[in-house]
């Protein structure tokens, strides 16, 4: 590496900002990233909101954001990062591994998706991928997405009904299937309980489902959640 912080091939090192609420996890990520010759950690924050305050000063190329996709404002946080700087790449680390959580995160602005069990090599490969303009998907997600596709081809009628759901209805479906109450969903999505009730009733009507048990079975068959997520 040269003294001006450039990789031997002449390109600047990828500037990485860590947004993670666990100091030990941030330390592990920093060690992993700083050991690579083509990337470096330029800053740390204990939340996405705090990290966004550092963006103008640090000019990161990649932000690694630890998100609880069933927590308050997670998808809004992703949208806010892209609103601040559309060119920054966002690599999210999540604990949920379902196909629809991945799709919702990517729609909200994520460029890459890692589970928290990702190995160091996966982390650095993900950084290189998103920095180069490619999307990155944690290998553990591939089987779930394939299963979702297979289910789609076998059950086109159900899939057609799923395709009629709005993004908000899909968010509520994910959360209901993950055993969240209407009150919890209202907090997560920052909606009123009555609005959640109405959205939930509407999506169940569209899917032809009559109770939560049927909804969970549908979500499992479709790959939205797995039994280990419950």
The DSSP string of 156-184 is HHHHHHHHTS-HHHHHHHHHHHTT--HHH
Percent of the chain with pLDDT over 90: 37
| 104 pLDDT more than 80 | no
pTM of the entire predicted model: 0.64
Identify which has the larger pLDDT, 12 or 229.
Answer: 12
If pLDDT is split at 50, 70 and 90, which confidence band does 5 have? Answer: very low
Q: What is the CATH number of domain 155-229?
A: 1.10.10.10
Please state which of the ranges 65-79, 109-123, 173-187, 204-218 shows the lowest mean pLDDT.
Answer: 65-79
If pLDDT is split at 50, 70 and 90, which confidence band does 3 have? Answer: very low
pLDDT of residue 49: 86
Domain boundaries, the chain: 14-140, 155-229
Please state which of the ranges 46-50, 98-102, 222-226 shows the lowest mean pLDDT.
Answer: 98-102
Q: Judge whether 101 and 94 are in contact, CB under 8 Å.
A: yes
Q: What is the CATH number of domain 14-140?
A: 3.40.50.2300
Token pair for residue 47? Answer: 């939340």
| 132 pLDDT more than 90 | yes
| 214 pLDDT more than 70 | yes
| 6 pLDDT more than 50 | no
pLDDT of residue 147: 62
pLDDT in tens, 40-99: 999 999 988 899 999 999 999 999 998 865 555 677 888 889 989 999 999 998 875 555
pLDDT of residue 100: 62
Identify which has the larger pLDDT, 104 or 217.
Answer: 217
């Amino acid at each position: 590496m040269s003294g001006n912080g450039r990789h031997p091939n002449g390109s600047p090192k990828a500037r990485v900002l860590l947004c993670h609420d666990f100091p030990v996890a941030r330390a592990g990520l920093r060690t992993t990233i700083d050991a690579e010759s083509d990337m470096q950690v330029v800053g740390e924050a204990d939340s996405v909101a705090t990290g966004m305050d550092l963006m103008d000063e640090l000019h990161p190329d990649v932000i690694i954001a630890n998100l609880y996709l069933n927590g308050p404002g997670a998808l809004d946080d992703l949208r806010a990062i892209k609103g601040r700087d559309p060119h920054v790449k966002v690599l999210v680390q999540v604990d949920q591994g379902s196909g629809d959580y991945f799709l919702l995160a990517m729609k909200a602005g994520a460029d890459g998706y890692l589970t928290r069990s990702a190995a160091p090599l996966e982390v650095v490969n993900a950084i290189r991928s998103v920095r180069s303009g490619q999307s990155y998907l944690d290998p553990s997600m591939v089987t779930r997405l394939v299963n979702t596709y297979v289910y789609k081809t076998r059950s086109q009628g159900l899939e057609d009904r799923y395709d009629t759901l709005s993004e908000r209805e899909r968010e509520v479906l994910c959360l209901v299937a993950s055993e969240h109450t209407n009150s919890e969903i209202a907090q997560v999505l920052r909606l009123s309980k009555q609005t959640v009730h109405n959205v939930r009733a509407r999506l169940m009507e569209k899917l032809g489902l009559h109770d939560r048990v049927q909804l969970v079975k549908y979500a499992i068959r479709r790959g939205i959640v797995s039994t280990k997520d419950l």
